[in-house]
Amino acid sequence: MSNYLDAVIVEHNPSQKKIDRAVIWLHGLGASGHDFEPVVPQLGLADDMAVRFIFPHAPNRPVTVNGGMVMPAWYDILEMSLERKVDIAQIEESSQQIHDLIAREIERGVKPEHIVIAGFSQGGAVAYHVALGYPQRLAGLMALSTYLATNDNIDYSEANKDMPILIEHGTHDPVVPVVLGEKAQELLSAKGYSVVYHTYPMAHQVCMPQIQNIGKWMNKVLA
């Protein structure tokens, strides 16, 4: 039996149906699963949709670029160069923990094609790794203010070649420069993926117009 990551669970289910949709949403470095919990009621999801949001907490580990300070992190960041030198093995380890959460949702009766994988910043790098390599068709991938850290290490899945991908970034992001969002979009588009790319005049954060757009996208891919 897997030791599942601790997670915040929020259910959107106005019609009190059996939950048959899921979103697994990963937070950024030093944050927690509570980070995006308040966003769910602001998404404007359809009333007839029954969605379980899973916001897992990253394990605590030392982070090299922060002087070795121990904090919630999906993986160690070794250098803050533009390309980001990261611990690939830890990304793969975190990805396996997300695979376990997907498997649990499937056991609960949610089909893989009704599961969205989402992530912000560091969580987005893991979300890319999970969704692009997942062997069964998923509902979609959402990558917020993040970068594609493991392009050379992903075993790209044929099952998800037509998976909807939403990439969103702040044009004034001082933490993850917007050029990294553009690079991911260009790389995935060149591979034939259907990518929707939006930018917003903001820093390393989310904003209300963006949250509304995310809600519209989720209503579509989870319909």
Catalytic residue among 94, 95, 121, 145: 121
Concerning whether 121 is annotated as a catalytic residue, the answer is yes
**Terminal-residue alpha carbon distance, the chain:** 32
Catalytic residue among 35, 76, 87, 173: 173
Orientation angle between helical segments 88-107 and 122-133, nearest 10 degrees: 60
Determine how β-strand 7-12 pairs with β-strand 51-56.
antiparallel
Concerning whether 81 is annotated as a catalytic residue, the answer is no
**Cβ–Cβ < 8 Å for 15, 47:** yes
Angstrom distances, CA of residue 150 to CA of 10, 40, 88, 126, 189: 30, 29, 7, 9, 16
Long-range contacts of 206-211 (CB under 8 A, 24+ apart): 206/36, 206/39, 206/120, 206/144, 206/145, 207/170, 208/42, 210/168, 211/39, 211/42, 211/43
Instruction: Cite the active site residues.
Output: 121, 173, 204
